Every structure is written in C-alpha cells, then in structure tokens.
Amino acid sequence: MESDSIGSRKILQSVFGFHDFRSPQGEIIDTLVRGKDALVLMPTGGGKSLCYQIPSILREGCGIVISPLIALMQDQVSALRLLGVKAEFLNSTLDLASTLNIEKSLRENNLDLLYIAPERLNQTRTLKLISQSKIALFAIDEAHCVSQWGHDFRSDYLNLSLLPEMFPDTPRIALTATADERTKNEMLLRLQLQDAHKFISSFDRPNIRYRITLKQNVKTQLLSFLKKEHPKDAGIIYCLSRKKTEDIANWLQTKGFNALPYHAGLNNQARANHQARFLKEESVIIVATIAFGMGIDKPDVRFVAHLDLPKTIESYYQETGRAGRDGQPASAWMVYGLQDIIKLRQMMEGSEGSEEHKRAEHHRLNAMLGFCEITSCRRHALLAYFGEESQHSCANCDNCLEPMETWDGTEAARMALSVAYRTEQRFGVNHLIDVLRESTNDKIFQFGHQNLASYGIGKKIDNNQWRSVFRQLVARGYMSVNLERYGALALEEKCRPVLRGEETIQLRRDIKRKTIRQHTQTSLAADIDVALWEALRECRRLFAEELGVPPYVIFHDSSLQEMCSMLPQSMEEFHLINGVGERKMEKYGPAFMAVIIEHTAS
Ligand code: ADP
Ligand code: ZN
C-alpha cells in the first residue's frame, strides 16, 4: 500500500506537475489502486479528474471513463496528451478509420485512458471490445445522471449496472458534484455501489467571494464592478431573458469588453461559435440565459454575475460554482431588487404544473429571497442549506467583509403595512410611497388618498429607503405581490403581530455598510509585473493557437503567476512551478524562459 502512495505521488509530480494532493484525492486513488470501488461527491473544481486519471496510469490496463459530455472529450483528451498520457475517446464524432485504430490500441493494451459516451458503451460491439481488453478501472463521471429525480437524467446511465455483473473484478469510481441525499442514495443503488468507499467532501468553495447588492442602475453597477475588479477577465453574466442577454452583450462591447450573447434562441452555429471563443480566447465574457454552463469546464472563469435573481439556491450555487474552478480568487456577484421578486412570482404563476409543484417552487424561491436578505455570513447560510455545518464567519462574503447595518424598522413596517391596508391592497409600491411621502400627484387626488391617516406620515424616510422597507417586507413574507393587480401589495397573515405591536422588525440598511477594510479583489497578485504577465500570456496564446486548444490547457493562470514571481532561469527551476510536469517542462520551458530572460534583461 505504501508503495502505491509513493507511485501515485510520483505521477502527480512528474506527469501533472502538482506538488501535493488535495484532500481526499490521495485516499481515493489508493482505494482504486487497491482494486476497491469508490463514490466521490466533490464540488466543481475540487479535482475529481485526477482521482481516476492517476489510478488508470498506475494500474495495469486502460481506464474507461464514461462521460455524457461529448463536446468536452476532445479537450480532455488533448490536455492529457500534452502531459504525455496515452488518452483517446470513442464517440459518434469519429470516423471509422480512427475508431478502428483506437479499438486496436485498446486491445493491444496501448492506452492509459479511454473516454466513452454512455450510449456507446452500451453497444454490444463496445462491450465485447472491453471484455477482450485489459481494463484498469471504470470511472462514471457525472454519476448523478443515473438519478431519475435530477434534471440531468440519462437513460443510458441505467445500463451501467451491468458493469459489475460483467466485470466483477474491475474497480469502479462514480463521481459527481451533486450533493443531495436522495440523488446519492439512488446512485449507490442503481450503480450497485453500496459497498463502495464513500468520499464526501465539503461543498464549500472558499475562493469564491459571494456578494449581493441592491439593484439600482444595473448597467452602471455592472460596469463599475467589471472595471474595478475584472477588467480583463473571463466571466459569465446571467440574465433572465434572451433579449436582455443581447442588449447587455452589445452594450458591453461598446464599452470595450469582449462580450458575447448565448441563449437557446441563437442558431446552433452561433452558439457553438460563442462557446468556442469563450473557451479558446482570453478575456471573453458570455452574457447568457441559464441555457449556458452545463459541462463548461473552463477553470479560469474569474466571475459569475447575476443581473436577475435565480429561482432557487440550488441554481445559484450551481451557476456561481462555474467561477474559480482553478482555486484562484473569483467573484460571485449579484444585483437584486423588488422587481426580481415580482417577475419571478409572475413566471411561476404563469407556469404549467400542479399546485403542489407550484407550492414547492414558491418555497424554494422564498429560501432564495431569505438568502438575499440575510445580514449574517452568506457562505454559512449556503452550506447550511445543503446540510453542512461551518464555522460562522467566512471572511470572504459581503456580510463578513462589510457587515450590514440594521435598524429598528418596526415603526416603518407598521406604516407600510397600514398604508397598503387603507388603500385596500390595490396599489403598487410607487403609489404607496407617494401616499406616505405626501406626494401631490394626480393619482393621489383621483383616489382621494390625501385624506387618509397615512398621508404624509412617512416623510422622514426617503424614497429609496421606503423601497427597501417594502422589498424586505415582501421578501420576508409579511406582504405579498398581487399579480392580477399589476403588482399591488397585499398583507399576509404573518403581519398581524407587527400591526398589533407584538413584534419588532430589524431591517437591513441596504445602502450603508460598515466598511471594515477596503478590499477590491483582483485576480492578479498586487506585486506582479504586469508587462511580464502579458508577455507570458502571449507566449501561451501562440502555443494554444498552434495546437488548437484553450490556453489553460497549456498552463493555468496560476502557473503563469508563479513564473512571474519565481522568474525561473533553468529547467530545474522551471519544473518547480506548480502545474509544470516533465513533458511540459521539455516542450514549453525554453520558450517561456526565453520570455522571462528577455524581460528581466531589459
Ligand atoms: P472537477 O472535475 O472536480 O470539477 P477538475 O478535475 O477539473 O475538477 O480540477 C479542477 C482544477 O484543479 C483543474 O484545473 C486541475 O488541474 C486542478 N487540480 C486538481 N488537483 C490538483 C492538485 N492536487 N494540485 C493542483 N491543482 C489541482
Ligand atoms: Zn461570510
């Protein structure tokens, strides 16, 4: 066993160029090398691939990787080949000659890794091929696809239960980033992995900084966020509507950003083209509806911005999780306001589906709203939602970095509730504020609202703060939005104790935060030599273009950053950079060091 661990560490360093395993990669690899099965639940970016790649190299025979994401196989295989690993894929995009060649290599035990689509694996021809070859292990990637409860269900995954029957002595590893209990149990059952060693990692993504700001002027807020924190970074911006993705992308282009829209209404070619540019070029921003993202494996997405509220915490976590897979600092940034609540409620009302389904959706939206409004640590709340305990303060979310001021909003809440009541719960937020603030517009006199007891009682509170009060009352369920009456605000049962003076309410003081420290975060270390950084990126771009692979396949940003600070001048020093294995040292070392030497000489 000890020699196995030494072997796997050696491969980690010489082939992948990484110094250490991340926990629990080492134990997972040992399990497989010893011929045992494993179930791995690890968040996106946790480092699942190494868990089956290294044992495939170490064990006799070829590792078979079952993956539903055909579009990504090519990139995964290219990346492994650059490391000197003998990898291939079998899927419907190959011609016959290539297929036959690969089958021959497998039979002759000339492969370390073979990626196969599930539908392909289920063909008799493939199963026969596999039984005639030496197989190191089976890796079932995106294993939650076997669950019928999930949205990603693939019927081909059900047949994977024949693997243990046909190949009882070959170890299997199932991997996913989906954490919930129901899916986990279904995976264990359907893939017959009840006896597998289970490795369940924390779902925390400590490098992602969570922030949610009040929506005011979306474009100005977005522009300032991008300029300050991500001027040259790749990122994803999510919007609810197709039209808005186009609008924001066009507008960002006029501001000098490389932004492209992505939604289901674009034709296939445009979609493929925009996705390819996002992967292969640097600093591309995709402005997308949720149609974008599944299976996007780009490690250096530096930010995910939400311009509209996601419907559930699950979607929020999944979408924000596409940032920072490489472990470097990344932002999850969102703007949110009362209109978002109204819009989502409307969409839900209009959607088809049973009452029960609607109630469940409603419930999930409320959890999301609660998450937006909290004044305590966001990470803590996010993890708690997924059943994980964490220490209270993460120091990397808005509420930890700049604690939100609260104020006693009991009196204001009572005014807000009673003005809605006295106007018969027939008016929207703007008119209610007009009444409270003694406006003299026509609508007031048209309805005689100047005679109400509420008229003018809220003059001390300004417009924005009133909006904030109403939003918080709706988000917390004291009021509801009447969708049949164009967003009229109505009272909910929950507000009675407040009106009776039996309950006090603390509200967020949205705009003002107690700044503890100034903390603009950029992806570049502060002391980095920007000119050298750019020169190294250019060198990487040229190699990537020549090979037709995304730049991060050559080197990750973190490796380039290390080059900037360590300034390696010899092959030995170059090999010390994290992410530089033997193959990459030989292939790229001279060119990158030439850039460094030239730069330091001048
Ligand atoms: P997942 O499949 O879990 O989303 P990946 O396998 O794609 O994650 O790994 C995420 C990133 O982390 C990759 O860029 C990978 O190269 C890097 N990585 C994985 N393991 C290590 C390690 N031990 N040391 C440094 N980087 C690692
Ligand atoms: Zn926090």
Alpha helices, H only, 429-476: 429-436, 442-446, 463-475
Burial class (CB in 10 A: 0-12, 13-18, 19+), 382: buried
Residues 350, 227 share a domain: yes
What is the three-state SS of 366-407?
Answer: HHHHHHHHCCCCHHHHHHHHCCCCCCCCCCCEHHHHCCEEEE
**CA-based angle 235:385:67, to the nearest 5?**
55
Q: Is position 13 within any domain?
A: yes
**Mean pLDDT throughout 439-452?**
94
Residues 261, 395 share a domain: yes
* Cα 402 to ligand 2 centroid, rounded to whole Å: 10
Q: Is position 520 within any domain?
A: no
Q: Is position 138 within any domain?
A: yes
What is residue 80's predicted lDDT score, i.e. its pLDDT? 96
What is residue 254's predicted lDDT score, i.e. its pLDDT? 97
Q: State the ligand closest to the CA atom of 47.
A: 1
The number of the ligand 1 atom at minimal distance from the alpha carbon of 327 is 12
Rounded Cα distance between 55 and 65, Å, is 12
* Cα 25 to ligand 1 centroid, rounded to whole Å: 10
What is residue 1's predicted lDDT score, i.e. its pLDDT? 43
What is residue 71's predicted lDDT score, i.e. its pLDDT? 74
Q: Is position 65 within any domain?
A: yes
Cα 474 from chain centroid (whole Å): 28
Q: State the ligand closest to the CA atom of 390.
A: 2
For 222, left (φ over 0), alpha (ψ -120 to 50), or beta? alpha
Cα 293 from chain centroid (whole Å): 8
Ligand 1 pocket: which of 20, 317, 325, 557 to mutate (most atoms <8 Å of CB)? 325
**Mean pLDDT throughout 64-76?**
87
Ligand 1 pocket: which of 14, 20, 22 to mutate (most atoms <8 Å of CB)? 22
What is residue 513's predicted lDDT score, i.e. its pLDDT? 62
| Axis-axis angle for helices 410-422, 429-436 (nearest 10) | 110
Which residue range(s) make up the domain with 538? 530-601
Total domain count, the chain: 4
* Residue-by-residue DSSP string for 535-592: HHHHHHHHHHHHHTS-HHHH--HHHHHHHHHH---SHHHHHTSTT--HHHHHHHHHHH
The number of the ligand 1 atom at minimal distance from the alpha carbon of 20 is 23
What is residue 495's predicted lDDT score, i.e. its pLDDT? 94
pLDDT band at 295 (very low <50, low <70, confident <90, very high): low
Say which amino acid occupies 206. P
What is the three-state SS of 109-128?
Answer: CCCCEEEECHHHHCCHHHHH
pLDDT band at 2 (very low <50, low <70, confident <90, very high): very low
Higher pLDDT, 509 or 14: 14
Rounded Cα distance between 34 and 59, Å, is 9
Higher pLDDT, 224 or 515: 224
Nearest CA to ligand 1 atom 20: 47
What is residue 518's predicted lDDT score, i.e. its pLDDT? 46
Q: Is position 517 within any domain?
A: no
Nearest CA to ligand 1 atom 18: 47
Nearest CA to ligand 1 atom 27: 47
**Binding pocket residue ranges, ligand 1, CB within 6 Å:** 18, 21-22, 25, 42, 44-50, 299, 325-326
104 contacts: CB under 8 Å, gap ≥ 6: none
Q: Is position 73 within any domain?
A: yes
Last residue of a domain, one of 200, 227, 242: 200
pLDDT band at 511 (very low <50, low <70, confident <90, very high): low
* Cα 510 to ligand 1 centroid, rounded to whole Å: 38
What is residue 4's predicted lDDT score, i.e. its pLDDT? 64
Determine phi and psi for 448, rounding to 5 degrees.
70, 25
Report in angstroms the alpha-carbon separations of 322 from 100, 230, 339.
36, 16, 26
pLDDT above 80 (res 3): no
**Mean pLDDT throughout 4-14?**
88
Rounded percentage of the chain residues whose pLDDT exceeds 70: 95
Report the greatest alpha carbon distance in the chain. Answer: 91
Report in angstroms the alpha-carbon separations of 257 from 66, 142, 221, 304, 346.
38, 33, 15, 15, 33
**Mean pLDDT throughout 8-13?**
95
Determine phi and psi for 20, rounding to 5 degrees.
-135, 155
**CA-based angle 546:583:595, to the nearest 5?**
60
Residues 212, 171 share a domain: no
Average pLDDT of the residues of the chain:
90
* Cα 376 to ligand 2 centroid, rounded to whole Å: 7
Strand 135-140 to 172-176 pairing: parallel
Strand 404-408 to 506-513 pairing: antiparallel
Rounded Cα distance between 112 and 114, Å, is 7
pLDDT tens, position by position, 135-193: 999 999 999 899 876 667 888 999 999 999 999 999 999 999 876 778 889 999 999 99
Ligand 1 pocket: which of 12, 49, 113 to mutate (most atoms <8 Å of CB)? 49
Pair 252, 218: CB distance under 8 Å: no
Rounded percentage of the chain residues whose pLDDT exceeds 90: 69
Q: Say how many C-beta atoms besides its own lie within 10 A of residue 165's C-beta.
A: 8
pLDDT tens, position by position, 311-330: 889 889 989 999 998 889 99
pLDDT tens, position by position, 454-505: 999 999 999 989 999 999 999 888 998 887 777 899 999 999 999 999 999 9
* Cα 326 to ligand 1 centroid, rounded to whole Å: 7
CATH code assigned at 542: 1.10.150.80
CATH code assigned at 487: 1.10.10.10
Q: Which residue has the tokens 């170890």?
A: 171
The number of the ligand 1 atom at minimal distance from the alpha carbon of 51 is 6
- Long-range Cβ contact pairs of 381-387 (< 8 A, separation 24 or more): 382/210, 382/313, 382/317, 383/202, 383/203, 383/204, 385/313, 386/179, 386/180, 386/203, 386/317, 387/179, 387/181
Q: Is position 523 within any domain?
A: no
Pair 177, 319: CB distance under 8 Å: no
Rounded Cα distance between 580 and 83, Å, is 9
Q: State the ligand closest to the CA atom of 398.
A: 2
Residues 589, 537 share a domain: yes
Residues 215, 185 share a domain: no
What is residue 294's predicted lDDT score, i.e. its pLDDT? 66
Pair 86, 113: CB distance under 8 Å: yes
* Cα 106 to ligand 1 centroid, rounded to whole Å: 26
Rounded Cα distance between 480 and 471, Å, is 10
* Cα 340 to ligand 2 centroid, rounded to whole Å: 24
Q: What is the radius of gyration, based on Cα positions, of the chain?
A: 28
pLDDT above 80 (res 39): yes
Residues 179, 258 share a domain: no
* Cα 47 to ligand 1 centroid, rounded to whole Å: 3
What is residue 84's predicted lDDT score, i.e. its pLDDT? 95
Q: State the ligand closest to the CA atom of 579.
A: 1
Residues 410, 397 share a domain: no
486 contacts: CB under 8 Å, gap ≥ 6: 428
Q: State the ligand closest to the CA atom of 393.
A: 2
pLDDT tens, position by position, 228-267: 999 999 999 999 999 999 999 999 999 999 999 999 899 9
Q: Is position 514 within any domain?
A: no
Rounded Cα distance between 97 and 592, Å, is 37
Comparing 32-46, 48-62, 340-354, 398-412, the range with the smallest average pLDDT is 340-354
> By three-state DSSP, how is residue 469 classified?
helix
Residues 535, 500 share a domain: no
- Choose the most confident range, by mean pLDDT, from 4-8, 230-234, 292-296, 530-534: 230-234
Pair 259, 285: CB distance under 8 Å: yes
What is residue 487's predicted lDDT score, i.e. its pLDDT? 80
What is the three-state SS of 492-543?
Answer: CHHHHHHHCCCCCCEEEEEEEECCCCCCCCCCCCCCCCHHHHHHHHHHHHHH
pLDDT above 70 (res 93): yes
Residues 439, 358 share a domain: no
Residues 411, 338 share a domain: no
512 contacts: CB under 8 Å, gap ≥ 6: 405
Rounded Cα distance between 479 and 492, Å, is 5
* Cα 350 to ligand 1 centroid, rounded to whole Å: 42
* Cα 565 to ligand 1 centroid, rounded to whole Å: 22
- Taking alpha carbons only, the member of 66, 64, 87, 63 closest to residue 76 is 87
Last residue of a domain, one of 175, 200, 225: 200
Ligand 1 pocket: which of 5, 29, 50, 205 to mutate (most atoms <8 Å of CB)? 50
> By three-state DSSP, how is residue 139 classified?
strand
* Cα 357 to ligand 2 centroid, rounded to whole Å: 32
Residues 182, 151 share a domain: yes
Rounded Cα distance between 354 and 344, Å, is 17
Nearest CA to ligand 1 atom 21: 47
Ligand 2 ion: residues within 5 Å (CB): 377, 379, 394, 397, 400
* Strand-by-strand arrangement of the 330-336 sheet: 208-214, 330-336, 303-306, 235-238, 284-288, 258-262
CATH code assigned at 262: 3.40.50.300
What is residue 514's predicted lDDT score, i.e. its pLDDT? 58
Last residue of a domain, one of 171, 200, 229: 200
What is residue 591's predicted lDDT score, i.e. its pLDDT? 95
Nearest CA to ligand 1 atom 15: 47
Q: State the ligand closest to the CA atom of 325.
A: 1
Give the global pTM. 0.82
Residues 119, 49 share a domain: yes
Say which amino acid occupies 214. L
pLDDT band at 363 (very low <50, low <70, confident <90, very high): confident
